[in-house]
Structure 1
Amino acid sequence: MEENYLLAKWLNNDLSATELAEFEASPEYATYQKIKTHSAHLEVGAFDGDQLLNKVLKEQKPAPKVVALFPKWLFRIAALFVLSLGIAYTMYHFVSQTTTAGYGETATLELPDHSKVVLNSGSTIAYKKWQWDTHRNLKLQGEAYFRVAKGKRFEVATSLGKVTVLGTQFNVKARENRFDVTCFEGRVKVNYKDQQILLTHGQSVTFENGIANNSITTESSPDWLQQEIAFHAEKLQRVIAEIERHYNVTITLKNVHTTALFTGKIPTKTLDVALQIIAKTYNLKKSKVAPNKIIFEGK
């Protein structure tokens, strides 16, 4: 401890003459003297704190790592979901809604204003839900019965003609070159080419080859809704076509040459009865060569 005390005083040149003589006589003095001599030549530059700070600030800092709260794939799924909803909304409101009744079937649908439509076999109807309350327009292929709720103009367009109503019950049939309209309630306006006819309750009109034929009905709805097909002075070929459509069968006429017109009713639920009526009426031989294929042959 004493030695360290003297060393400190010696380095600061604070030793008395007696202490200096005693320190120089110590065995370690020569070593201390060499250290002091060499260290006197060392120089330490001045410390510049501002310069060091600027240097640190100028160093490129690594960009902070951002941790996503949700993975990217989740956002992709959400985007696809929103896109799907948009497409579904567009399809539902802007694209035509189509309903078809296949052969041997009927189809019932309710429109946005609660109007009812019943499609007969082999018929199709199309409409758009967008702004339906002010644009009640439909396109029909085949035959359909309508019970229209009161409201704006209700229009049924076919390839042969157009029917316009406000609120009523009516039947429209457009097949090949024949256009039939029957009004069961209220009034309907029928447009066929350049002709326009107004029908009221119980009135019917048939356009064929440009000729209009009017008739009266006492029925409250079409016969086909009661599982019957009513014909009045109808050609055999048209009667056969209706049976094929309602029963989803194919009927072939062989050696049948007749111009006799058929008036009566054909059931739409029992094929054998329907075929027997035709066979007896026209004196034909019936052959069933397959479950859905029938041949009528003249006797």
Structure 2
Amino acid sequence: MKKDRLLAKWLNNDLSPDELAVFEASPDFEKYQKIKDYTAHLEVGDFDKNAMLLNILSQKKEAPKVIPLHKKWIFRAAAIFILALGITFAMKFFVTQTQTADFGEKTTFSLPDNSEVVLNSGSEINYKKWNWDNNRHLELKGEAYFKVAKGKKFEVQTSLGKVTVLGTQFNVKARKNRFDVVCYEGRVKVNYADIQILLTHGQSVSFENGKQVKTTVTSSKPEWIDNQISFYIENIRSLLDEVERQYNITIELNAKNTTSLFTGKLPAKDLNTALQIISTTYHLKIRQVSKNKIIFDEK
């Protein structure tokens, strides 16, 4: 039986138990159910029954037009289909779009203007397609590398600050109380609290706990793109948090004398080597209690 006939029979409560089971298992059933529930609450206003009766009796009687039942089904199914298309269009262009990269993963995607974005592990981006050419604005949670297509102003908003650019390549990282921006091409304007800084090719800026910290650029693109985790004057908890994201594991730290700041790189595809570097740097013992849990103890 064709899908539109099933839809029409369902709208008129004429489906057999077997047909109903097949229809409810279809991928579009939830959408049809929502539309049916919505239209069921539509009401018309009150009217004067006596006036309507007199009006009908005063008119010339004509033979009633009979519309076959199957045509009613088709008309109603067509109306539902058109409404569903409208809802689908609205969902696609007006509702916020979300792109994510889970722990242990990276995600690459293109924005409506063909700007390229690479999301690092444990990150999320939200944006709207509607009117994108005139309002290129998105919200970032975590870290991402952008290759922005030339055009009008492009904005990246995070919980810690905002980056405004025009046709450039840059990296933005907002993790807890740490905010890092690196410009690899073109220019970017960084807003953090009441501070505004203009970065050009090869420049970077970082803020931690509300204060600007010294940073440096050592490559032509983010190291994490090539599976290297780079740190510059960061504490051990930042190291462990990033290793947890990259390898999708949990790390517990049972040590007190770990206040030294770390500058260097850790591999993002070799967990044993990454753990050995951390243990050697901070004089810790590695204890693996399960496949996805590591504990660092004092020696």
What TM-score comes out, normalization by structure 2 length?
A: 0.77
Is 2:288 the partner of 1:288? yes
Per-residue CA distance 1:212-256 (angstroms, 9 max, x = gap)? 234331311101001010112211111011001111100011134
- Kindly provide the amino acid, as one letter, of the partner of residue 123 in structure 2: S
The offset of 1:76, in angstroms, is: 1.7
State the secondary structure of the residue aligned to 1:71. Answer: helix
Deviation sequence 1:15-64 (CA, Å, 0-9, x none)? xxxxxxxxxxxxxxxxxxxxxxxxxxxxxxxxxxxxxxxxxxxxx98944
Letter of the 2:189 counterpart: K
Change (3 A) 1:261 1:70: same
Residue of structure 2 in register with 1:239 after alignment:
239
Deviation at 1:154, TM superposition (A): 0.2
In the other structure, the counterpart of 1:216 is 216
Show CA shifts across 1:263-291 (max 9, x none). Answer: 11101111111111111221211111111
Measure how far apart 1:145 and its partner are: 0.4
* Alignment partners' CA distance in 1, 2:293 and 2:211: 35
Task: Give % identity.
Answer: 62
Match of 1:86 in 2: 86
User: 2-side partners of 1:289 and 1:67: how far apart?
Assistant: 73
Unaligned 5+ segments in structure 2 are 1-59
Q: Is the 8 A contact 1:256 1:297 kept in 2?
A: no
Question: How far, CA to CA, are the matches of 1:64 and 1:81 in structure 2?
Answer: 29
Amino acid at match of 1:273: T
Larger radius of gyration, structure 1 or 2? 1
Question: Residues of 2 paired with 1:209 and 1:64: CA distance?
Answer: 79
Deviation at 1:69, TM superposition (A): 8.7
Shift >3 Å, 4+ stretches? 60-65, 67-70
Structure 1 counterpart of 2:164 = 164
Q: Deviations over 1:176-228 (max 9, x none)?
A: 11111000000000001111000000111001122123433131110100101
In the aligned structure 2, how far is the partner of 1:214 from the partner of 1:258? 21
Q: Is the 8 A contact 2:215 2:232 kept in 1?
A: no
Aligned partners of 1:252, 1:61: CA distance in 2, in Å?
87
| Amino acid of the structure 1 residue aligned with 2:144 | A
- Which residues of 2 match residues 12-23 of structure 1 at below 5 A? none
What secondary structure, in the 3-state scheme, does the structure 2 residue paired with 1:84 have?
helix
1:114 aligns to what SS in structure 2?
Answer: coil
Aligned residues: 240
Match of residue 150 from structure 1: 150
Q: Distance in 1 between matches of 2:143 and 2:182?
A: 11
Give me the whole-angstrom Cα distance separating, in 2, the residues matched to 1:165 and 1:192: 15
- Aligned equivalent of 1:202: 202
Alignment of structure 1 residues 1-299 onto 2, 5 Å? 63-64=63-64, 66-68=66-68, 70-299=70-299
In 2 relative to 1, CA 264–216 (structure 1 residues): closer, same or farther, beyond 3 Å? closer
The amino acid across from 2:101 in the alignment is A
